[in-house]
Structure 1
Amino acid sequence: MSSTVITISNEDEITPTQKRKSQFALLSNVYSLVAKQSKHDMRKVIHSFKVGIAFVLVSFLYLLDPLYKKVGENAIWAIMTVVVIFEFSAGATLGKGLNRGIGTILGGGLGCLASILADEIGGIGNAIIVGTSVFVFGTAATYFRLIPSIKRRYDYGAMIFILTFNLVVVSGLHTDKVMELARERLSNIGMGFAVCVFTNVLIFPIWASDELHYSIASKFETLACYIEGYLEEYFRLVNEKENHSNTSFASCKSMLHSKSSDESLANFARWEPWHGKFGLSYPWDKYLQIGDVLRELATTIVSLKECLQSHRQPSSALRQSIREPCEAVGSSLAWTLRDIGESIMKMERCRPKAFIAPKLQSMKQELSLVTYSKLGAAENGEGLAMASFVFLLIKMVEKVEVLVEEVEELGALAGFSN
């Protein structure tokens, strides 16, 4: 879980109003952290209970005599299916279950055909057919597993296909026994899958699509807070800095490593049925594109933090001379990020790019003019440090421009309300 460091100032220098605001901010942060942790812990408890319920239901295949007489010892495959495919989110469970079913059917079916052909030929041809089919299908399935688009969604199914095909072909059983064994195991895998779907999708479902949606939308607010905090720290006077701790940017850094998590959630979300406002062909790829731009913006913000910690800094007077336009840009960036993030959270159309883009363009021009006008009066080291700071601000404006365009496209593709 990310950590939050609260800025602490000297109590003799703050007014009662500032103290109340500080206490309110502290309580808000504590409440937010506790609520987030409590919600996450509750989801873990719910998932654990659902797994227990699934095991109880599948164990009836052994405990109830009528069911046991039909399935016999093959009920172990239903229990193994629950153990293997029951995942935290509904989409992950459905994806793994369908992959297991498709892989078993294709592997068993092709294995039976290869076994029938080998039996018909007999003799030395039997071994040739078995060896050739194992080599061809094993090589082809392994190659397809390495293709990124297939690996993301069907890697588990390809692995089950290879396993099932080899077990059927190499088993050496007669065709009638192979068909009977395949039918029994497939029916038991279907029972296990049905139990998983019932408990995971119908009992307090945890949707990967909801998690991805709220994860992407909440990142806008996080980045807006960091932009405001770092600008405030940059323009703080030297004697004020001594009484303040550095703002933590652990959450901003953790965002840089969220790509794999976002891709996994998007992959699971594609398997989920229609629920709420998320349809079957929902544009999850657009969420991933927005996540990429957010990470690029987070990288720029982390660079801004490193700029603040550099030993080469412009003088306090030079910083104060550019404070007003830079803080205006920071406030506008934070406002824009919160606005488009809220539009995603509420699934409403954001302000059109034609309304926001001119404002962002004017920000970049103003920052450029400020930099050129101040660089001439600054010493070499101070001018370079200030130019680096302003350059990062301009880069952030450009990234926000891209985000506005991406969110506007998302609203059109997903059918956000006006």
Structure 2
Amino acid sequence: MCSIGVAASVAASNKYSEMDILKKRALVYMDTTKRFIGLTCRKIWKVGRDDPRRAIHSLKVGLSLTLVSLLYLLEPLFKGVGENVIWAVMTVVVVLEFTAGATLCKGLNRGLGTLLAGSLAFLFEFIARESGKVFYAIFIGASVFFIGAMSTYLRFFPKVKKNYDYGVVIFLLTFNLITISSYRVDDVLKIARQRLYTMAIGSGVCILMSLFVFPIWSGEDLHSFSVSKIEGLAKSIEACVEEYFSEKEPDVEKDKLPEDPIYMNYKAVLDSKSTDETLALHASWEPRHSWHCNPFPWQQYVKLGAVLRQFGYTVVALHGCLQTEIQTPKSVRLLFKDPCTRLVTEVSKALMELADSIRDRRQCSPEVLSDHLHQALQDLDTALKSQPRLFLGTNSQNNTANMLALAAEATRSKPEKHLSSVKTEFSALSKWKSKRVSKQSVEAEGRFLKPTLSKLAITSLDFSEALPFAAFAALLVEAVAKLDLVIEEVEELGRVACFKEFEVGDDVILNVDDGSKMEINLPSNAAD
């Protein structure tokens, strides 16, 4: 009885332990599920908070699909349009893009491609229908081959590839669908008409939604993106100089992080080429929607982006000076802190003024290149000239003479080439041995001499630790030169875009510490 009781208690304890394990696993699973749901909800909220237009665009797509689906759901509309209503739904899914320019580009390309393909297919069918069945099949095969080859070859032309590639693809698809199916279907005109109707309905709904229901303009995105790039460069170059002259020890781990603010600001500029070109292309399709109906100079924004990338390369080089292996001592850097800080402050102020003028659509201030900037350049030049020993060295002539003497001695130690006359085998053997020994000794001296010369060449430079700062100062001067090019492009943009004239009081002091970032939503085929 005792053994039975013990066994029962053991079984009960095992059962309770298994239940505890299951409960713990269930709690862990529920906790993991809650965290996953919370993380997903926060991510969804962040995407909509970063750009509320994304939520608006999603609602527009849903409404467009609902309107087009009524053609299928309502019996009168279904009988009037036919069974090809599904093409209208497919058109909405494919054509409706984030911006009005991208939707117009796709919609008009799709309409034009479908219209041309339907007309050409009907013409070919009308020509070949009068002949026999065999000739009709041969004619269809030849026309499909010819049109397919020519359309595909046409896509390689740069202008066609850039503006009408999607239209050519739709033309090729529609032509093949109608032409091949006409061989088995008698009424090909009905097929072409239904295809054109459904495409027109789908494209019309997309264009109306894009232009009249909370429109999102590619031109405005390109305009705002240009402003954010200029502000990012201003923040980056000012942060570079501030960190370079900082008295704190550099954080190595911070430089390796991809969230480095200096890196993120100029990276957005360097990676902006495809974004600028795509937004400019879509802006060229958009109608004039401003109050004064001024033309949108999309090409000038592309030129401005190219100049900003050139300025960005200088900022990249400045950022690289913060991470070089050989650094100028802080005591030397502090000698030039004030003129460099004043110079970069003036450059940053000029960039922020340019960004503000583009944002407000006004001409930039005539004082954008102020006397303070030129004075800061003069102060930096004066500071560099006041410390000549840092860049010239105190005993450079003695070290140079020592290096030349050592090189001359190494040259004299080289063996002279001469012809040996072999008199006897013993003398020839002895000369060969002595020559080999001398050659090995010379090679050993050469191997020792080369690193000695390299080490001497490095250590003899009294200004070796000042060279990194010289490069840094040269890049600051280069940034001023690139700033002049940026100003020229902004002035040209204001002239072409008919910006309003500058008035006293238009300049606004901006907070350059704002961490906001412009995000661009490109269409699905932007990479093409």
Q: One fold, TM greater than 0.5?
A: yes
Shift of 1:172: 3.5
Contact 1:360 1:401 in 2 (8 A): no
Structure 1, residues 371-418: CA drift from partner, whole Å, max 9, x if none? 566464243322321121112112211221111000111111110010
Q: 1:395 to 1:198 in 2, by over 3 A?
A: same
Q: What fraction of aligned residue pairs are identical, expressed as a percent?
A: 42
* Partner of residue 234, structure 2: 224
Match of 1:346 among 360, 366, 385: 360
Q: 1:394 to 1:277 in 2, by over 3 A?
A: farther
Query: Which secondary structure state, in structure 1, belongs to the residue aligned with residue 325 of structure 2?
Result: coil
* Partner of residue 254, structure 1: 268
Query: Which secondary structure state, in structure 1, belongs to the residue aligned with residue 98 of structure 2?
Result: coil
* Partner of residue 153, structure 1: 163
Structure 1, residues 210-244: CA drift from partner, whole Å, max 9, x if none? 1111111122122111211111111122x465799
* Partner of residue 297, structure 2: 283
Shift of 1:39: 4.5
CA–CA distance in 2 between the matches of 1:179 and 1:57?
A: 27
Shift of 1:358: 7.9
CA–CA distance in 2 between the matches of 1:128 and 1:36?
A: 59
Shift of 1:190: 0.8
* Partner of residue 96, structure 1: 106
* Partner of residue 472, structure 2: 389
Structure 1, residues 59-95: CA drift from partner, whole Å, max 9, x if none? 1112222211201212111111111111111221121
Under a length normalisation based on structure 2, what TM-score does the superposition of the two structures give? 0.66
Q: 1:395 to 1:278 in 2, by over 3 A?
A: farther
Shift of 1:364: 5.7
Range with greater deviation from structure 2 (147-156 or 246-255):
246-255
Shift of 1:163: 0.9
Query: Which secondary structure state, in structure 2, belongs to the residue aligned with residue 106 of structure 1?
Result: helix
Structure 1, residues 152-195: CA drift from partner, whole Å, max 9, x if none? 22111010011112222222348972222111111111111122
Structure 1, residues 232-273: CA drift from partner, whole Å, max 9, x if none? 111122x46579966632232233212212222222222222
* Partner of residue 407, structure 1: 490
Contact 1:329 1:363 in 2 (8 A): yes
Under a length normalisation based on structure 1, what TM-score does the superposition of the two structures give? 0.83
Contact 2:137 2:183 in 1 (8 A): no
Tell whether 2:121 aligns with 1:111: yes
Contact 1:371 1:387 in 2 (8 A): no
CA–CA distance in 2 between the matches of 1:196 and 1:269?
A: 17
CA–CA distance in 1 between the matches of 2:182 and 2:47?
A: 54
Tell whether 2:220 aligns with 1:206: no
Query: Which secondary structure state, in structure 2, belongs to the residue aligned with residue 381 of structure 1?
Result: coil
Structure 1, residues 111-137: CA drift from partner, whole Å, max 9, x if none? 222222233454654344333332332
Letter in 1 for 2:488: E
* Partner of residue 265, structure 1: 279
Shift of 1:324: 2.3
Q: 1:267 to 1:319 in 2, by over 3 A?
A: same
CA–CA distance in 2 between the matches of 1:290 and 1:80?
A: 38
Shift of 1:275: 1.5
CA–CA distance in 1 between the matches of 2:166 and 2:310?
A: 32
* Partner of residue 417, structure 1: 500
* Partner of residue 315, structure 1: 329
Shift of 1:325: 2.1
Range with greater deviation from structure 2 (360-369 or 302-311):
360-369
Contact 1:352 1:408 in 2 (8 A): no
* Partner of residue 60, structure 1: 70
* Partner of residue 13, structure 2: none
CA–CA distance in 2 between the matches of 1:130 and 1:393?
A: 68
Shift of 1:345: 0.5
* Partner of residue 337, structure 1: 351
Query: Which secondary structure state, in structure 2, belongs to the residue aligned with residue 87 of structure 1?
Result: coil
Q: 1:111 to 1:315 in 2, by over 3 A?
A: same
Q: 1:84 to 1:241 in 2, by over 3 A?
A: closer
Q: 1:359 to 1:165 in 2, by over 3 A?
A: farther
Aligned runs of 1:154-169 on 2, under 5 Å? 154-169=164-179
Q: 1:292 to 1:363 in 2, by over 3 A?
A: farther
* Partner of residue 19, structure 1: none
Q: 1:245 to 1:129 in 2, by over 3 A?
A: closer
Q: 1:348 to 1:69 in 2, by over 3 A?
A: same
CA–CA distance in 1 between the matches of 2:252 and 2:158?
A: 51
Contact 1:224 1:338 in 2 (8 A): yes
CA–CA distance in 2 between the matches of 1:161 and 1:357?
A: 57
Contact 1:375 1:383 in 2 (8 A): no
The structure with the largest alpha-carbon Rg is 2
Shift of 1:370: 5.0
Letter in 1 for 2:476: L
Structure 1, residues 275-312: CA drift from partner, whole Å, max 9, x if none? 22585741101111111222222222122111112121
Contact 2:235 2:265 in 1 (8 A): no
Query: Which secondary structure state, in structure 1, belongs to the residue aligned with residue 465 of structure 2?
Result: helix
Q: 1:116 to 1:175 in 2, by over 3 A?
A: farther
Q: Mark the runs of 5 or more structure 1 residues left unpaired by the alignment.
A: 1-34
Q: 1:73 to 1:124 in 2, by over 3 A?
A: closer
Q: CA RMSD in A?
A: 2.9
CA–CA distance in 2 between the matches of 1:295 and 1:386?
A: 24
Aligned runs of 1:25-64 on 2, under 5 Å? 39-64=49-74
Query: Number of aligned pairs?
Result: 382
CA–CA distance in 1 between the matches of 2:135 and 2:491?
A: 63
* Partner of residue 305, structure 1: 319
Q: Mark the runs of 5 or more structure 2 residues left unpaired by the alignment.
A: 1-44, 392-461, 502-528
CA–CA distance in 2 between the matches of 1:364 and 1:133?
A: 70
CA–CA distance in 2 between the matches of 1:243 and 1:75?
A: 61
CA–CA distance in 1 between the matches of 2:195 and 2:388?
A: 76
Letter in 2 for 1:81: T
